[in-house]
Structure 1
Amino acid sequence: MRVKNKKTIMLLVVAGCVLLGCWLWLSLRTVEIVAVHEDGNHASVLVKAFPVTDKGKVNWWLKNKDMLRDKYDIPKPSSSGNFTIIFWDFGDGYKEEGKYDRRCFDNMKTKENCIEKNAVFAVRQYHDDDVIFATYEGRYSLNKSGDIIKIKRE
């Protein structure tokens, strides 16, 4: 019986190490910005290897918002202070419209100007108010004093 227990323990340790290794690999990848498409105060940023966790996404934004402004000139708030930036997983790249509900970019004059709608993160601001972060898991508010607060859904 002891041999069976040792094999089970070893199997669990190996499985744990594999999972930890995968998690570290996912966490340490460098985000690649493939393209930025703009429409007024709205921007779509196509990315590869975006952080997996909500905290990772928000921290990536806080660390890279100045780079996005300097390199891509986003966000471009409207006269009332509104802006939206949506980060889309670039996935398998540009495709033809073909399938229902793809996100297409009219500024591209090719047949392959659409992506699968897989938004991974959004940043919004309304009327110079708090910045709102939206992820698959939840919504967060960045207030003027720099505090990040999870918004409870009702």
Structure 2
Amino acid sequence: MKANLKKKLIILIIASAILMGYLFWLNLRPVEIIAVHNDSNYSSVLVKNFPITDKGKIDWWLKNKERLKTLYDIPKPATYGSFTVIIWLFGEGYKEEEKYDRLCFNDMSPPVNCIEKNRVFSISSGKNRVTIFTVSDGEYIMKDNSKVMKIKNE
């Protein structure tokens, strides 16, 4: 009986180690920016290998916002100061509009100018210098480039 329990424990430890290694690898892959599409003060960034955790997403933005400004001129605030940047997973690439719920870009010629709507992260800011980070399960706020805090949903 003890030998059987040891085998199960060893299998559980190995499976846990493999899972942890896989999650570690997922977080270490570099984010690949495929394209950036702009529409006034809204920008869509199409990516592959985006971080899976809220902290990873926010950290990625904070580390790369200057690079994004230099390379892609985003964010592009409106005259009154607000902007929105939405990060979309590129998935299987550009597709035709055929499905009703695809996101299509006006700065590309149809018919292959749409993606599946798979938003993973968004960043918005207003003239009050408050930045809101939106993830799948909530929102975070950052005032004047200081500490990031989760907004409690009530």
What's the TM-score, normalizing by structure 2?
A: 0.97
Unaligned ranges ≥5, structure 1: none
Report the 3-state secondary structure (helix = DSSP H, G, I; strand = E; otherwise coil) of the residue aligned with 1:30: coil
Confirm or deny that 1:68 pairs with 2:68: yes
RMSD of aligned Cα (Å): 0.9
1:4-153 to 2 correspondence within 5 Å? 4-144=4-144, 146-153=146-153
CA distance in 1, matches of 2:41, 2:56: 25
CA distance in 1, matches of 2:145, 2:105: 36
CA distance in 1, matches of 2:137, 2:28: 20
What's the TM-score, normalizing by structure 1?
A: 0.97
Report the 3-state secondary structure (helix = DSSP H, G, I; strand = E; otherwise coil) of the residue aligned with 2:113: strand
Select between 102-111 and 47-56 the one with higher mean Cα deviation.
Answer: 102-111
CA distance in 2, matches of 1:26, 1:138: 22
Contact 1:80 1:128 in 2 (8 A): no
Distance 1:70 1:14, change over 3 A: same
Report the 3-state secondary structure (helix = DSSP H, G, I; strand = E; otherwise coil) of the residue aligned with 1:3: helix
CA distance in 2, matches of 1:141, 1:32: 25
Report the 3-state secondary structure (helix = DSSP H, G, I; strand = E; otherwise coil) of the residue aligned with 1:150: strand
1:80-104 per-residue CA deviation (whole Å, 9 max, x = no partner) reads: 1010000000000000011121000
Report the 3-state secondary structure (helix = DSSP H, G, I; strand = E; otherwise coil) of the residue aligned with 1:88: strand
Contact 1:139 1:150 in 2 (8 A): yes
Distance 1:84 1:145, change over 3 A: closer
Deviation at 1:145, TM superposition (A): 5.2
CA distance in 2, matches of 1:2, 1:58: 47
Kindly, what percent of the aligned residue pairs are identical?
51
Q: Which amino acid is the alignment partner of residue 146 of structure 1?
A: S
CA distance in 1, matches of 2:106, 2:143: 34
Report the 3-state secondary structure (helix = DSSP H, G, I; strand = E; otherwise coil) of the residue aligned with 2:50: coil
Select between 121-130 and 87-96 the one with higher mean Cα deviation.
Answer: 121-130
Report the 3-state secondary structure (helix = DSSP H, G, I; strand = E; otherwise coil) of the residue aligned with 2:107: coil
Aligned pairs, number: 154
Structure 1 residue ranges, 4+ long, deviating more than 4 angstroms after superposition: none
Q: Which amino acid is the alignment partner of residue 42 of structure 2?
A: H
Deviation at 1:110, TM superposition (A): 3.2
